[in-house]
Chains A and B, each alone.
Chain A
Amino acid sequence: MTASADIAHQEHSNSFLTKYVWSQDHKVIAIQYGVTAIMVGVVALVLSALMRLQLGFPDQFSFINPASYLQFVTMHGMIMVVYLLTALLLGGFGNYLIPLMLGARDMVFPYLNMLSYWTYLLSVLVLMASFFVPGGPTGAGWTLYPPQAILPGTPGSEMGILMMLVSLGIFIVAFTMGGLNYVCTVLQARARGMTLMRMPLTIWGIFVATIMGLLAFPALLVSAIMMFLDSVAGTSFFMPAIMSLGEQLDHGGGSPILFQHLFWFFGHPEVYIVALPAFGMVSDVLATHARKNIFGYRMMVWAIVIIGGLSFVVWAHHMYVSGMNPYFGFFFATTTLIIAVPTALKVYNWILTLWRGNIHLTVPMLFAIGFIFTFVHGGLSGLFLGNVVIDLPLSDTYFVVGHFHMVMGVSPIMVLFAAIYHWFPKITGRMLHTGMGKFHFWATFVGTYLVFLPMHYLGFLGVPRRYFAMGGTDFIPASAQSLNASITVSALVIAVVQLVFIYNVIWSLRHGKAAGHNPWQATTLEWQTPDTPPKHGNWGPSEPVVYRWAYDYSVPGARDDFIPQNVPDSEVVVTDKLAFAKAGT
């Protein structure tokens, strides 16, 4: 049965359940993914507020002790990286945008797609359930390093760690189902005329990130299985002969560093699994709202592909001080700094896209600019940590916390907000409220900078991360505590500001200004659907045909400052034939 026959069938069985719950429509699945991810992200946000309370105002809160603090840290990190960012960028935006931007009617395997979401939901439920088991969730740090992750000196070593490993396993199953689907859809279901080099950068980012995920997540899966066996079946994959709390254990012969290699073989590509879709989406937001083609499109595509490839040979830069053979440092420092070159190129091209543009400072554009600023900051601090000898004093300090939050927390979240404000009109048919959106942007942008910039300096000082309390440490001045308090205040303010965003979404669903089909006057196919929000099947009776690349903004000689991808030259209203011909679109 073809996809369109499937859809026709489903359109007829119009019950609420098949339409909104057991839906095979990529758009409904995308919203399910998105809403679930945002809800679990709110949990992670609350956890970060709890840990900031302890750091800013130590020992003032009876519900925070050394064990629960580590549990907050661990769950915050894992939820944000995997269950929020990965799920929202790929499961949410990937699902929504791939078929629409490519001119397809749906994913090529709609049933598998549905299964992917429900499996993801199961992984989230297992993870949330770990808050309620004896001993609570794991407090091993989001990196889950053995041996401590499965030994009693670490909170959650009874049940929490096992539930975490099981949940990750389920998540990976869900990701694999979704991921295979995205890759096949990009390769097989593009509209006529949509060559690979005409695809919007959003799709390129999601496409490459998904391939990376399919290659990287298995490393996490096997390490989760091996650690699970070490914990319950007495194997010793990661367990050398050791003691625990004064008792000799029966383990012997395993290697804790092996786990770290496996984890970071997943973990570093994971950074780009989050970053590449964000790179792609922000490119499209910038081009649309600057009314200008993305600068250096081909270079941008190659940069995405090269970054994706290189990100598989840099993983051990997370392990410079792990006790691995120190000579590895030469290789990994070199590969890591090389990856900065294509990344820097992307930054230049984003800014050169703005240059000589006609910049509309809409809310999505503001967030996209916020992304550039924070990403530049986070990328540059990465040059410190990637350079092995500089990592020596800075590793495991607040410099690392500042760096990865800037580059992997704030900047992708800037893009996520840009994307939500940008595509919400297509998803719901209504605009988000601009005033609330601008307030949300200013508070989030400035606030997060006030949180994470000072952390770099605590790191220069040498303040270690993952400390419940500093206690008496000679080299840390008392003023560091005041700085920590101010960071906490900023963090709490930002957390509260997010309520404005949530209110805006709910309010606009009902009261937002009607959006029309193409409120931003964008060129890409998702804005050319016959219905907004698009109906199941997306395109009505006839699928679109693509005649041009995704960035025909402000083409000389054309009357309008944008030409949608599905408009042939013959239908463009041309005011200056010579100029239009010269532009050679």
Chain B
Amino acid sequence: MAITLIILLLIAGSVIFHFTSVWWFTPLASHWSAIDTTINITIWITGVVFIAVNLFLAYAIYRYRYKAGARADYQPENKKLEGWLLLVTSIGIAAMLAPGLYVWGQFVSPPADATVVEAVGQQWHWRFRLPGADGQLGKADVRASSELNPLGLDPNDPAGMDDLIIDSHELVLELNKPVKVLLRSNDVLHNFAVPQFRVKMDLVPGTVSYVWFIPTVVGQFDILCEELCGIGHFAMRGRVLVKESDDYQQWLAQQQSYRQYQARLAGDPEFGKAHYQVCASCHGAQGEGNQALHAPALAGQSGWYLKRQLRAYQQGLRGNAEGDVFGAQMIAMAQLVRDEQAINHLLAYIGSFNPNLVQAEPGNLHNGQRLYRNCSYCHGRNGEGIFAMNAPMLHSLEPWYLTRQLDYFKRQIRGNHPQDFYGAQMSLMAQSLHSEQDIADVVAYINSLQPKAGLTQGDSNDSER
């Protein structure tokens, strides 16, 4: 009667696993306790049915196992019994469905006073937008999207000018204040899911969907994309910070309006020249880099990326990890240029440099090309870097620098800071380079992609700006 025994064991095992499992709901951090209640009702009803039906199954097998000379009953049907079973089942189903529909009714009706926030997904990043002083979001369309306007705000809609553009993976929400998150995608399907809030909804290009909730716990919560969106799907992470009202207002005051955002990289190379002198001692007069001083080339790198890295050094997101000796040096240097305008001037000056032709290291270009396929989605087919993907130019970086950074990403020396979303993403991707040889090959291939000397450098430099 092994089968009876095993069924009993599986029932007992399931029950024990259920009650001892450490893998259980993440603690709730929103007002949706009603969702948890509905699940618990369903767990109890289905759990009782699971146990009862299978116990009966096990007993029937045991009780009516084959015996020589025994004979089965002959009973084609029993309408009364079947009627009862139908009735009891229907009651059980209704007991699960009714509360479910009731709570869903609440979920589809956000309160009128909810704060409106827009979350925009784009392979494989989050950006957010909040209404400005006028309290409403301006019109937006992906067709207007560009480097200066990644969310595609309508330039002719005055309502959008004061919208706050959060060009970051991190959104801050106010504690105990209902929030309606409008969901929009610039490319493919994505999904906005925060397990602690119990909410989840797809972002669909061409339309706007929503979720709403009241955050009830101060803290930080991961935003996961839960709709397959391509190879970077698993690395598309964001974060919600829930803060007390005062802290929230403080954060809000620091955010850039759309108007300010458009001017975020405007600078004058003439003013920047003076600021650059201190950089030049390591990075070279023309931003050509210096391996002996462990200073990478800057020429040809896009301004938005250099600015992000400068800020990352200043805020301790980069260069702070144990083992990153050369990054640590840069932390001190980065403190010398803190002013927003000064940085923009500096970047404008660096933007005037022509990238050098980098001497490639030998490597297996065929293997490199194969490996680079996964990199190309973000960094571009020619390693030119794509702003929309938050991916810097690679082709004109020196091989020693690329190698070191890949190694750092892989060992999580870079990209390990909780605030460094972009680095963390690269760290996840770098894990699929399995050996030093792989890294060498992919670096060799990247350097083989640089525009050939003289001919196209001017053009590519223009397009970077």
A interface vs B, CB < 8 Å?
A: 58-59, 62, 64-67, 70, 139-141, 145, 147-148, 151-155, 240-246, 248, 254-257, 290-293, 295-299, 321-323, 326-327, 329-330, 333-334, 337-338, 340-341, 344-345, 347-349, 351-352, 354-361, 366, 369, 372-373, 376-377, 380-381, 383-384, 387-390, 392-393, 395-397, 442, 445-446, 449, 453-454, 457-458, 460-462, 464-475, 477, 479-480, 483, 551, 553-556, 561, 583
Residues of chain A within 8 A of B24, CB atoms compared: 457, 460-461
Q: State A65–B234 Cα separation when bound (angstroms).
A: 12
Partner of B226, one of A240, A323, A360, A397: A397
Known contacts A153-B232, A246-B386; 18 additional CB pairs below 8 A are: A148-B187, A153-B188, A242-B205, A243-B388, A248-B142, A254-B206, A326-B108, A347-B53, A349-B82, A356-B73, A357-B64, A358-B71, A369-B7, A376-B50, A387-B38, A397-B226, A457-B17, A460-B25
Q: Would you give 24 A-B contacts (Cβ < 8 Å), ordered by A?
A: A67-B373, A151-B230, A154-B231, A241-B205, A242-B187, A244-B123, A244-B187, A295-B77, A296-B76, A323-B201, A323-B203, A338-B93, A357-B64, A361-B65, A380-B50, A383-B46, A384-B42, A384-B46, A387-B100, A389-B103, A393-B195, A393-B200, A461-B24, A461-B195
Count of A-B residue pairs with CB < 8 Å: 361
Q: State A465–B6 Cα separation when bound (angstroms).
A: 30
A392→B35 contact, CB < 8 A: yes
Output the nearest chain A residue to B188 by Cβ-Cβ distance: A148
A449→B23 contact, CB < 8 A: no
B74→A392 contact, CB < 8 A: no
Residues of chain A within 8 A of B56, CB atoms compared: 351
Residues of chain A within 8 A of B23, CB atoms compared: 454, 457-458, 460-461, 477, 479-480, 483
Q: State A483–B21 Cα separation when bound (angstroms).
A: 11
CB of B74, distance to nearest CB on chain A (Å): 5
B195→A257 contact, CB < 8 A: no
Q: Which of B335-343, B426-434, B457-465 contacts A (4 or more CB under 8 A)?
A: B426-434
B333 within 8 A of A: no
B interface vs A, CB < 8 Å?
A: 2-3, 6-7, 10, 14, 17, 21-26, 34-35, 38-39, 42, 46, 49-50, 53-54, 56-57, 60-61, 64-67, 70-78, 81-82, 85-86, 89-90, 93, 96-97, 100-101, 103-105, 107-108, 122-123, 141-143, 145, 183, 185-189, 191, 193, 195-196, 198-207, 209, 220-222, 224-235, 237, 373-374, 377-378, 380, 386-389, 418, 424, 427-429, 431-432, 434-435, 438
Partner of B101, one of A254, A330, A360: A330
Partner of A341, one of B53, B89, B198: B89
Q: State A166–B54 Cα separation when bound (angstroms).
A: 44
Q: State A333–B378 Cα separation when bound (angstroms).
A: 40
Residues of chain B within 8 A of A392, CB atoms compared: 35, 107, 198-200
Most-contacted residue by chain B among A341, A357, A390, A461 (CB, 10 A): A390
Partner of B202, one of A322, A337, A384: A322
B77→A148 contact, CB < 8 A: no
CB of B99, distance to nearest CB on chain A (Å): 8
Partner of B145, one of A248, A333, A341: A248
Output the nearest chain B residue to A459 by Cβ-Cβ distance: B23
B104→A351 contact, CB < 8 A: no
Q: State A347–B82 Cα separation when bound (angstroms).
A: 12
Output the nearest chain B residue to A356 by Cβ-Cβ distance: B73
Output the nearest chain B residue to A299 by Cβ-Cβ distance: B82
CB of A371, distance to nearest CB on chain B (Å): 11
B186→A243 contact, CB < 8 A: yes
Partner of A466, one of B60, B100, B195, B233: B233
> Contacts A293-B74, A321-B202, A397-B226 given: A351-B53 contact, CB under 8 Å?
yes
Q: State A442–B97 Cα separation when bound (angstroms).
A: 36
Partner of B193, one of A248, A293, A396: A396
Partner of A359, one of B26, B50, B65: B65
Q: State A344–B45 Cα separation when bound (angstroms).
A: 14
Q: State A395–B211 Cα separation when bound (angstroms).
A: 15
B387→A246 contact, CB < 8 A: yes
Residues of chain A within 8 A of B57, CB atoms compared: 351, 354, 369, 372-373
> Contacts A322-B202, A392-B198 given: A387-B145 contact, CB under 8 Å?
no
